[in-house]
Amino acid sequence: MVKRAKHSRKNNKSNKKTKVIVLTILFILIFIIGFGAFYTYNLLNKVNKTEISKSNDDLGIDNSVTEQFKDKEDDIINIAFFGVDQMNPGERGRSDSTMVLTIDTKTKKIKMTSIMRDSYVAIEGYGKDKLNHAYAFGGPQLAIKTLNQNYGLNIKDFVAVNFGELSKIIDELGGVDINIKDYEVKMVNAYIDSVADIIKQPGKHISQPGLQTLSGVQAVAYTRIRYVGNGDFERTERQRTVLTALFNKIKNAGVANYPSMVNKLLPYVETSLSSINLIKIGTNALSTGVTNLEQERFPLDGYCTGATINGVWYLKFDEEATKEQMQKYIFEDVKPTAATPKF
């Protein structure tokens, strides 16, 4: 098992293992149109469907947000992605990785917006707590509501993958190419042993830094590193690095291979999206030429700080500034820039 390194409370107070959200399925769907709706629909029936209420009240969508971005609704689709800490069958687990996937057909971009799991947010019915607790308290319904209420978003659907299934997805795709830094080698090997023990799969140690193809166990271990570099901030970057590597691998695999990939990977996914909506999303993205992948993380440096409240470490942040920055990035394609932070 991994030995925890000494580290400041500011960067690593959370004691739970980190999981990652690498939800490649929707990306695959973006490129599979052309194989026939009937065939695709049959494949999509393999997805694990979870129904949630789609009313604005139950989703926490403010009417002012709907009105403000009404002219964007035909061009922008936002979907919540959860990497769930679900170690045992039947348990709900926490969303230790949370992202908002934005498919923007006007700018022809797919945006991955990571949100720090320890962010101190309001969770309806539970007061203020860490963002990742919302999923444990009320599943995807409450987790989506928490995102919409705290960040002024209009998310209506989700996709989730749990920790154990992530390594299988990566292995099904033949691994991912990742550049391992010299200071990450020792820690990733420690996590490889931990991951292999948890999910009962073999994990080979990494012998040197540099660009290399990681197996599922190795890639999951890489995304869990948090006690070297810039703590949780660099950890979320590693998560997005793995997701980008998977996206590029899928995109470059060749059209003929997509049906086989979909057939293998869809059973690992849980979603509220219907098969018809998944096909529609893929069709719209294809017809408008969406192929560029972009990423960002919130809250930004300088707009957040660690704080211990009742003995628990949280990431407090400038709520109004972060909300505005996220809205501009997601809806208006304005990348955040450094300003005068409050923290």
Sequence spans of domains, the chain? 9-329
CATH topology of domain 9-329: Aminopeptidase (3.40.630)
β-strands 210-214, 176-180: how paired? antiparallel
User: How many CA atoms within 13 Å lie on the side-chain side of 126?
Assistant: 19
Residue range 278-300: average pLDDT?
76
pLDDT tens, 185-206?
A: 999 999 999 888 877 888 999 9
Answer yes or no: are the C-beta atoms of 163 and 19 closer than 8 Å.
yes
pLDDT tens, 90-133?
A: 566 667 789 898 988 888 888 889 899 899 999 999 999 999 99
Region of 152 please: left (phi>0), alpha (psi -120 to 50) or beta. left
Number of H helices, E strands in the chain: 13, 13
β-strands 120-123, 94-104: how paired? unpaired
pLDDT of residue 11: 36
pLDDT tens, 198-230?
A: 778 889 999 999 999 999 999 989 988 877 766
Distance CA 219, CA 239 (A): 9
Distance CA 319, CA 297 (A): 14
Q: Which residues pair with 304 in a beta bridge?
A: 317
178 — pLDDT class (breaks 50, 70, 90): very high
Triad 147, 11, 237: Cα angle to 5°: 60
Distance CA 77, CA 189 (A): 38
Q: Which residue has the higher pLDDT, 27 or 302?
A: 302
pLDDT of residue 40: 59
How does DSSP assign 160-220, residue by residue?
EEEHHHHHHHHHHTT-EEEEE-GGGHHHHHHHHHHHHHHHT---PPP-S-EEEEE-HHHHH
Distance CA 322, CA 76 (A): 20
Model pTM score = 0.75
pLDDT of residue 160: 86
Q: Which helix (H) or strand (E) holds 279?
A: helix 275-288
